[in-house]
Amino acid sequence: MPLKIGRAPQDKRNRTVADLLVAQLVEAGVRHIYGIVGDSLNPVVDAVRRSNANGTGIEWVHVRHEEAAAFAAAAEAEITGQLAVCAGSCGPGNLHLINGLYDANRNNVPVLAIASHIPSAQIGTEFFQETHPDRLFVECSVYSEMISSAKQAPRVINSAIHHAFAGPGVSVLTIPGDVADLDADAAVSDVALPPSPPRVIPNADAVRELAEAIDAAEKVTIFAGAGVRGARDEVLALAEKIAAPVGHSLRGKEWIQYDNPYDVGMSGLLGYGACQDAMEGADLLLLLGTDFPYDQFLPDDVRTAQVDTDPAHLGRRTRLDLAVVGDVAETLRLLLPQVQESRSRKFLDGKVKAHRKAMTGVVGAYTKNVEKAVPIHPEFVADQLDQLAGDDAVFTVDTGMCNVWAARYLTPNGRRRVIGSFKHGSMANAVPHAIGAAFAARAAGDERDIIAMAGDGGLSMLLGELITIKAYDLPITVVLFDNATLGMVRLEMLVDGLPSFGTDSPEIDYAAIANGVGIPSQRVTDPKAVKSALSKALATPGPSLVDVVTDPRALSIPPTISAGQVRGFAAALTKEVLGGGMGEAVSMARSNLRNVPRP
Ligand SMILES: Cc1ncc(C[n+]2csc(CCOP(=O)(O)OP(=O)(O)O)c2C)c(N)n1
């Protein structure tokens, strides 16, 4: 945009569309905007600067990649339940937001993205940096509109805020730089935000039908997703009354797994324990607040009932014999008095016992007698971290094998949070999610541990964000599971019968890099040093990083492994051998022998 000469900033104080936007965001409770400045965004950034002159407005957070801005906003919204905001300048600047916005939208958190745009007079002329943010963000948002005039601005801004809460999801406001700079005189007025969430009360007939189906079944298994948040007491009361084992998805884990005497673990690719058996052995499967996507882990020969607030989730993953549209807690409160208690506990007791055995066998095996194993077993690191982290720690978890270690070795307690890209599955989320979590904690005056469990592939993808952590002196502990490979994909290739290809990286001393950035860091190769290194890092007041050199051959075996997958695994090992990797195959077998399920 050409330079405008002769307009003193104080002349425009609280009068531009950008000022209006910032004022409305302040009113909606926004504390930070994560982003990178750029010419078309300058009016907004300048309005942010002026809003914060007395410290009561919004803080601008300068990240190194706009994708990180969107992830950070997503994590802040996840922790606070409040609106969080990210911003990118026109064209490539806001285009970089897209992956993080997909993540936020799929995680149903209220995020508003400000996408500044090329000068309005140039739109449609293939102008320098021209994209169409209002079109391109449609698929990853619940609301995406362009502000074209000062008159239109206040209502569209309000609408974007309300849509983000309503989704909950992502709203995108596209604003040409010149429009952001227009004079605006409309006053801001809005109801208090966020609005109190509704409770979805189920239909009484549907609840009665569900009670009848439960009473008609001898063996009921509950499978709980993130929708059981706030319904823990009701789910446990139902499990007790109808003697039902309770399995969970990864997103359900933090709300239902802890102190749960009916727990049988998790299903899915990362699963463990007796959950899969309990689902397959039931004669009624009760899905509560879950849109668990992996249909191959949901039995198609078991009668299935589903409770969800969103009717669009019903039956889209598996067979559906009975549906209740309703909040899980509200539904179970109505259901509980209607179901009979007289039922054998044999099924429940059997599955709980099998689960305990699996936990002390396959899952536990990796954390025992590994103090001497070199390279360091990642499971051992995750287990140590679980023991050392605070009771209210926030863990952010990179997509890849860290998901497996977090799912199996972190112990939730209702106060800890575990945040990941669990629906979108994007790499490189852990560090930027931690940035958003750290800003949320700082704003709330919380001194909770913020721990990023990062893969070396993930960290290197958004490595520049270490600079953001340092620049704001964020008390984040980055625990790097440094296996010098894209471990999760390596495993997928093995299971598909392919030799690993394109996965390995050179050994990099990430501790040296982070030290260079000014973050106190340690590189750990000796398993005996893991505990002290983690303790030291967690006790460091500002940022810290522990680069743990871990075993690249650590594998996770899904709870059900098909004959085809076993064949694939064997074929891959053969190919590793034929490819000259006999030593590789032997060490892989040695690394994983304890983890391979026996018939
Ligand atoms: C942005 C993005 N690119 C690629 C992938 C595919 N992918 C999933 S996990 C993974 C490997 C992650 O490697 P790393 O961070 O080193 O963790 P590890 O699995 O080795 O623990 C890849 C390439 C993805 N999910 N997201």
For residue 489, how far is its CA from the centre of ligand 1 (angstroms)? 7
**pLDDT value of residue 101:** 98
Q: What is the percentage of the chain residues whose pLDDT exceeds 90?
A: 77
**pLDDT value of residue 9:** 40
The residue among 103, 75, 169 whose CA lies nearest residue 422 is 103
Helix (H, G, I), strand (E, B) or coil at 65: coil
Q: Which residues of the chain have pLDDT under 50?
A: 1-12, 577-586, 589-590, 593-599
**pLDDT value of residue 12:** 44
**pLDDT value of residue 581:** 47
Which of 488, 555, 591 to probe ligand 1 with, by most ligand atoms within 8 A of CB? 488
CA distance 339 to 211: 5
Cα dist from 265 to 261, 285, 380, 409, 569, whole Å: 11, 15, 19, 12, 25
CA distance 150 to 179: 7
Question: In the structure, which protein residues have their CB atom closer than 6 angstroms to any atom of ligand 1?
Answer: 398-402, 425-427, 455-458, 481, 483, 485-489
Whether the CA torsion 556, 557, 558, 559 is positive or negative: it is negative
**pLDDT value of residue 599:** 29
How many residues make up the chain in this entry?
Answer: 599
For residue 523, how far is its CA from the centre of ligand 1 (angstroms)? 22
Residue 454 CB contacts under 8 Å (≥ 6 apart), including other chains: 398, 402, 430, 431, 478, 479, 480, 481
For residue 402, how far is its CA from the centre of ligand 1 (angstroms)? 10
Q: Which ligand 1 atom is nearest residue 486's CA?
A: 13
Residue 35's identity, in one-letter code, is G
For residue 486, how far is its CA from the centre of ligand 1 (angstroms)? 6
pTM of the shown model: 0.91
Task: Answer yes or no: are the C-beta atoms of 80 and 72 closer than 8 Å.
Answer: no
For residue 463, how far is its CA from the centre of ligand 1 (angstroms)? 14
**pLDDT value of residue 365:** 63
Residue 159's identity, in one-letter code, is S
Beta strand 394-397 with 417-420 is parallel
Q: For ligand 1, atom 9, name the residue with the nearest CA.
A: 400
**pLDDT value of residue 55:** 74
**pLDDT value of residue 4:** 37
The residue among 400, 569, 396 whose CA lies nearest residue 485 is 400
